[in-house]
Amino acid sequence: QVQLVESGGGLVQAGGSLRLSCVASGSIFSINDMAWYRQAPGKQRELVAAIPRGGSANYADSVKGRFTISRDNAKNTVYLQMNSLKPEDTGVYYCKSQIVAAPMKFVSDYWGQGTQVTVSS
C-alpha cells in the first residue's frame, strides 16, 4: 500500500521558519511530480509548490522567495522549507504525489493526511 506521511507542522510566530517533510512508502515503482498544497479554514485548497521529477520547481506567487521545495529521490521524500512565515500562511498543508505503483505500474495521485501550520502575529 502506498502511503504519504507529512510531518513538521506546528505553531510559530510571524517571521519564523518551519520545515515540512513528506515521505512516500509502499510498493512504489517511481514517483513523478511531488507537491505541497495548503488549505486555510473556509477556503479552497491551493497549490503552494511543486517539483516534477527532472523539472524545475514552481511556486505560488504568495510564497516565492520565502519557500523552497526540494526532493530526495533516494529517500522518496519531499521537503518544504518555509521562511519568513506570515499569518496568511496558516492552514493545513498537504503533500501530494503522482506515484507509479509496483508491480502493475498504475499511476495515481496520492495525498498525505495533512499537517497543521499556524503562524501567529
Give the pLDDT confidence score for residue 114 in this predicted structure: 97
pLDDT tens profile 10-56: 999 999 999 999 999 999 999 999 999 999 989 999 999 999 998 89
pLDDT tens profile 96-113: 999 999 999 999 999 999
Give the pLDDT confidence score for residue 91 in this predicted structure: 98
> Which distant-in-sequence residues (6+ apart) come within 8 Å of 117 by Cβ?
9, 10, 12, 18, 20, 38, 82, 85, 89, 90, 91, 92, 93
Give the pLDDT confidence score for residue 104 in this predicted structure: 92
Annotate the chain with three-state secondary structure: CCEEEEECCEEEECCCCEEEEEEEECCEEEEEEEEEEEECCCCCCEEEEEECCCCCCEECHHHCCCEEEEEEHHHCEEEEEECCCCHHHCEEEEEEEEEEECCCCEEEEEECCCEEEEEEC
pLDDT tens profile 57-107: 999 999 999 999 999 999 999 999 999 999 999 999 999 999 999 999 999
Give the pLDDT confidence score for residue 54 in this predicted structure: 85
Give the pLDDT confidence score for residue 97 in this predicted structure: 97
